[in-house]
Amino acid sequence: MPEFLTTPEFLTVAMFATLIFAILLGHPLAYTLAAVATLFGLIDYGFDVVGLFDLFANNTWGLMNNYTLVAIPLFIMMAQLLDRSKVSDKLFEALYVVLGSVKGGLGLAVVVVCTVFAATTGIIGASVVAMGLLATPALLKKGYQKELTSGIICASGTLGILIPPSIMMVIYGGLTGMKETSVGNLFAGAIFPGILLAGMYFLYIFIRCNINPDLGPPITKEESSQYTTAQKLTMTATSLVPPLGLILAVMGTILAGIATPTEAAALGAGGAAILAFFNKKLNWQVIKESSWSTLQTTSMVMMLFIGGKFFSTVFLSMGGGDVVAELLLDSGLNRWTSLFFMMAIVFFMGMFIDWAAILLVTVPIFLPIASDLEFNLLWFSLLMCVNLQTSFLTPPFGYALFYFKGVAPEGYTMMHIYKGIIPFVLLQVLGLIVLCVFPELVTWLPAYFFGG
């Protein structure tokens, strides 16, 4: 074999190119990561099969012993039970009445509902599909523009990947194993960025619909006057209190230091079961379906984790991390330009690759570079997570877009959805810039609750 074929520079480029090519062929992501890692691991190890698989076995054993990852099935079970308890339906119905008389009010109601349930479910598919089925007919019936409707639901539905408790944060914390980027710190650091994005969506819809009311007309006065102010307040309070109580139970115990994220996840799953019980939705069928969905999703996440771990281990062992680090650190670029390139790479990859693969591939490479550039690692990690949220929205392969298309009424085209999501992607990029200018939005809460 020619010597240049075994250099770290060539193997780095070849490994990434092979991964992207294999993903575009449509192979399952977890197995693609593992297969590419095996191929290049054999090349790097001189085709020492025993040595390579010994490395893989040790890495898999280390993953399975990671106590933090126990939170994943518990948070997923919590989301599945909440999805089947129909708590979000009651909240949307209440906000439909309360905010419907405002220009763009139904769109604002969608943002509020998705923000509340982002803090309880954290599963994007469930949020987008549920709000797509529930809110799309109501918005279109009231004369909302198709593009704006799809943009509101897709963008708001993706808040669950960022606002804690978030599966992405659990995976990120488990992947790094660092105190600065522990799950507790990530949860605390993500609260203000999540609220910031939700607030930007809210403000954008309000301003745009006030400038052009035809985009999001209010409900009629007759519909609004059917309820007294007291009835509206009662409806909102009774539909908001249960999910807010669950949020307080989960996040409050973590931030107060009473429970670890894993223990809080167990508390959340129990709380979700209680809410389902009081909504008369807790039966054997719901428990069975929720458990089966939890098993499937957890298995998928863990297989992704194993495949990603194989990929990053081989990539780093053959010197790929050093190649990327030297490219950025020795290029003469200042630290902010290097940060821009890292964020641009993550954003571009999000157009074609699932967020989990991006996370598992880039974090082991970029986090040491961010440390060398003397960035706050928690702040850098939250920039990564906010950036990864855009992967659900960016064409051509944004998952939220296809989730919505699957439940959209007849007459919706992908072009409607693509056009509708562009302003919200730009708002997410603006959110990233705001976090760069005001890093305290990320670092203040973790420092307040956990010190440092």
Model pLDDT for residues 209-232, shown as the tens digit of each residue: 999 988 888 877 776 677 777 887
Structure tokens at 296: 């499937």
- Distance, C-alpha 137 to centroid of its chain: 26
Q: Name the range with the highest mean pLDDT among 240-244, 332-336, 442-446.
A: 442-446
Contact indicator for 410, 357 with CB cutoff of 8 Å: no
Side chain identity at 51, as an amino acid letter? G
Residue matched to tokens 């203000």: 192
Given a cut of 90, whether residue 200 has pLDDT beyond it is yes
**CA angle, corner 35, sides to 42 and 357, nearest 5?**
120
Asked if 434 and 427 count as a contact pair (C-beta separation under 8 A), the reply is no
Overall number of domains in the chain: 1
CB 131 within 8 A of CB 157: yes
- CB-based contacts of 436: which residues, under 8 Å, 6+ apart? 339, 383
Of the pLDDT bands very low, low, confident and very high (cuts 50, 70, 90), residue 443 is very high
Q: What is the pLDDT of residue 206?
A: 93
Distance CA 160, CA 279 (A): 23
Q: What is the pLDDT of residues 228-280, one digit of tens each?
A: 778 878 887 887 788 888 888 888 888 888 888 888 888 888 988 988 888 88
Helix or strand run (H / E) with residue 99: helix 87-99
- Quick: pLDDT tens for 277-329: 888 888 889 899 889 988 887 887 788 778 878 887 888 788 777 777 777 77
Q: How far apart are CA 58 and CA 313, in angstroms?
A: 11
Residue 133 confidence (pLDDT):
78
Confidence of residue 378 (pLDDT cuts 50, 70, 90): very high
Angle 377-389/335-350 helices, nearest 10 degrees? 30
Helix 440-450 to helix 377-389 angle, to the nearest 10 degrees? 120
Please tell me the predicted confidence (pLDDT) of residue 5.
61
pLDDT at residue 158 tops 80: yes
> What is the DSSP track for 70-95?
GHHHHHHHHHHHHHHHTHHHHHHHHH
369, 342 Cβ separation under 8 angstroms: yes
Tell me which residue range forms the domain holding 188: 3-450
pLDDT reported for residue 3? 60
